[in-house]
Amino acid sequence: MRIKKNRFDYYSYVYSFPTSGNWESVSVELASMYPSFRGQRLDFSNFSAKQIQQISILIANNKEEQFNLIIDEICIQ
């Protein structure tokens, strides 16, 4: 998962997680998301903004394959 505090930023904050192919709930501590650009970790601090302008879900396993993604809810608590 990737988020941007400003949609015009060239980098995203990244959180990676494995999947099982079954229905899952994923909790993310926003402060654990690190900055990255084109797969390279950047030397900035982790996410600490008060707003998010963009959320992206990226399948990053370097394979061309079929997949199905159903998102029931995204919430911030």
pLDDT of res. 5: 94
User: Tens digits of per-residue pLDDT, 12-70?
Assistant: 999 998 888 889 898 999 999 999 999 899 999 999 988 999 999 888 778 888 888 88
The span from the first CA to the last CA of the chain, in angstroms, equals: 17
pLDDT band of 7, cuts 50, 70, 90 = very high
- This prediction's pTM: 0.83
For 20-60, the DSSP string reads: -SS-------GGG-EEEETTEE-SSPPP--S---EEE----
Amino acid at 66: Q
Structure-token pair, residue 55: 């959320």
Task: Tell me the backbone φ, ψ of residue 19, rounded to 5 degrees.
Answer: -125, 160
